[in-house]
Structure 1
């Protein structure tokens, strides 16, 4: 028997992927520059790239932003921070998610910056730092209303007082809080949080603590609450081309979606009136119809709730999703689209011709938020990185270009 040899990676380049996710690093650059214009020159930017940069790929995104001079990065876990360090990211990396004692040795080893929400973590960290000759930076988080992570204000003040008097091993580099409702058109809750945080800072200063970095503003805070910009802002969604409130528009701000997702027509069927399409006979044709089968489904980030409400683009025209979306296939009605062909490119997210499907469109269909859409689609396919704008012209399924950066 002749043993089967697995193909070398170079042999796979021309095999069509069920879904190709294209990321424009040029769009990341322009969005970063737009954010820079909204804040004071002295205000730092901490780019939030948790959840694999919202599905866009944390390492290529971080490498791009590091080259642009970003101050640092916010991640959710120690493992996310380690992956960045192992890929030559030298900027400060704030670990913003929950911490356990088991995380602390790796935080020290990889020079990550912990965001501390529990006093016990500080004491455990001090125990590991006793042999250091230079203080280790941390950021202290206070809860001003979200009631998720963060110290109560009185606990934070007590901890700050203790640390400033008793230990040379810890440097309080920053103080932060997190908004609960900054994208709401009613600013009442956000204004209360801002005032609580500013009052906390005043109390900390009266105790002799003056951390160099104060930060609170996420993307919504950057856009709608300039008094919360302080010394550093933490954009997430804006970097990837979307405002946190869909109706927000401004001639002074142009954000460009960074992610595009495409598939192709895998099969075509001609059906007579009254024939069913898909599981459980959910859809039945009412006219002579042509149906295209696409090789993507809910495993690729397209939930079954899109059935009957969502559409894709083929030859620049809308093709409604019909029948129940399957694990790795979906069906669309292409009856009104001239001359569809197996292999034609299908736009799942992005521009084709004069039409566009955005993450906001998906969020509206699914009754969710663009964050969830991007995270769901972004990590599920063949992800490529483009140094230029996303191509908006429809085409037949092309061979993959060797000039594109592959993850």
Structure 2
């Protein structure tokens, strides 16, 4: 057990089983810190995956209110949802980069969504939609500079660039962006970093020699935004860092980069009981009480996004004291061994927060589960209501 000097965050909403509190003031402060760190380049607020679990529309509106005029999404549905929520092209450009055949190209064109293209098949489908709708497309050509995921391979790049520029000459599209994505920017000194910087420079130079005049050239994700100024070009795309978590925890924590975690996850004790030594706890009895003790029941589980890998490891704070998950995390609940302590039923259980009050952080949970803080925050499910505080957009 670890004891803190304070009692945790603001109280749960009355009657709530669990709640994720999203500090929109911290979000704005993080964006300001990232803009100050990068200087000239524009900042794209990446709000894919429901803004990493924080709520895409609310976070996007907050980013726009803070002066951010680029938003990043993975799927077309995410991009269209932002437009449907009233975030118009006069407020922010929205880039969508994960397309599949027969996607909603027409809807995206009509909604003035910027479209990433990684291959000729996508360009062909987009051009068909442009001809049908009469709406020219804003295109970002993506180069695979070494990640081996989405993006156009170097040997196919000349054909894609040539086809895109032909379509531009016909007035069908405008090539407004050239971009790529790092594989290991979170590992300082990794040999792939310089290789990708060089590959991107070559892809960009070829496109520009061919006649492309992109509005934005962009490569930097969160770790590159923080650590690789040579990758910043015209636009940086912070995701995790925007939400106040460090993408390079071995280099520095959030405070080292002027960031504050935005989300706190809190639940309420549903039961406290005394049990004898040798008592099995939860499915499979993978934890057995070492002696007479008290157990606390926390009414969230893997259906709420608490990782099953947190079994016997996940940290929580109750009344200023740290405890660990005892036994298996179940679908709707887990147990902590309170070691004889007797908190009241209904007392708050802080799973993670900024850490400013001594509570566990998402990074602590990531380490306990053998995963990343990215996964911890993005997996918090829809059964957990979001409570927004500190907002300026509305």
Q: Deviations over 1:106-151 (max 9, x none)?
A: 1112211110111122223223323777742111101111111111
8 Å CA contact 1:301–1:380 kept in 2: the answer is no
Provide structure 1 residue ranges, at least 5 long, that are not aligned to the other structure.
Answer: 1-12, 389-404
Worse overlay, 62-71 or 344-353:
344-353
> Structure 1 residue 311 and structure 2 residue 309: aligned?
no
Q: Deviations over 1:244-285 (max 9, x none)?
A: 111223876221000001111111111122222222222222
8 Å CA contact 1:118–1:150 kept in 2: the answer is yes
Tell me the matched-pair count: 375
Deviation (angstroms), 1:347: 0.4
8 Å CA contact 1:117–1:149 kept in 2: the answer is yes
Instruction: Find the aligned partners of 1:353 and 1:341 in 2 and give their Cα distance.
Output: 24
Partner SS state of residue 153, structure 1: coil
8 Å CA contact 1:300–1:328 kept in 2: the answer is yes
Instruction: Find the aligned partners of 2:208 and 2:16 in 1 and give their Cα distance.
Output: 56
Deviation (angstroms), 1:99: 3.2
Change in 2 beyond 3 A, CA 1:203/1:35: same
Deviation (angstroms), 1:40: 2.5
Instruction: Find the aligned partners of 1:181 and 1:245 in 2 and give their Cα distance.
Output: 11
Identify the residue that residue 27 of structure 1 maps to in structure 2.
Answer: 26
Structure 1 segment 203-214 matched on structure 2, within 5 A: 203-214=206-217
Identify the residue that residue 397 of structure 1 maps to in structure 2.
Answer: none
Deviation (angstroms), 1:308: 1.6
Identify the residue that residue 249 of structure 2 maps to in structure 1.
Answer: 246
Structure 1 segment 3-402 matched on structure 2, within 5 A: 16-41=15-40, 43-90=41-88, 91-130=92-131, 135-165=136-166, 166-249=169-252, 253-337=257-341, 339-350=342-353, 354-377=357-380, 379-387=382-390
Q: Deviations over 1:75-119 (max 9, x none)?
A: 111111111011111211111112323321111122111101111
8 Å CA contact 1:291–1:332 kept in 2: the answer is yes
Instruction: Find the aligned partners of 1:88 and 1:323 in 2 and give their Cα distance.
Output: 46
Identify the residue that residue 5 of structure 2 maps to in structure 1.
Answer: none
Partner SS state of residue 174, structure 1: strand
Q: Deviations over 1:209-233 (max 9, x none)?
A: 2212100000011112111100100
Change in 2 beyond 3 A, CA 1:355/1:99: same
Q: Structure 2 length normalisation: TM-score?
A: 0.90
Instruction: Find the aligned partners of 1:222 and 1:213 in 2 and give their Cα distance.
Output: 15
Provide structure 2 residue ranges, at least 5 long, that are not aligned to the other structure.
Answer: 1-11
Deviation (angstroms), 1:15: 6.1
Instruction: Find the aligned partners of 2:154 and 2:119 in 1 and give their Cα distance.
Output: 12
Deviation (angstroms), 1:352: 7.7
Change in 2 beyond 3 A, CA 1:346/1:132: closer
Instruction: Find the aligned partners of 2:200 and 2:292 in 1 and give their Cα distance.
Output: 63
Instruction: Find the aligned partners of 2:136 and 2:229 in 1 and give their Cα distance.
Output: 32
Worse overlay, 52-61 or 178-187:
178-187
Worse overlay, 348-357 or 204-213:
348-357
Deviation (angstroms), 1:69: 1.4
Partner SS state of residue 101, structure 1: coil
Partner SS state of residue 102, structure 1: coil
Instruction: Find the aligned partners of 1:368 and 1:186 in 2 and give their Cα distance.
Output: 22
Cα RMSD (Å) of the superposition?
Answer: 2.1
Worse overlay, 80-89 or 130-139:
130-139
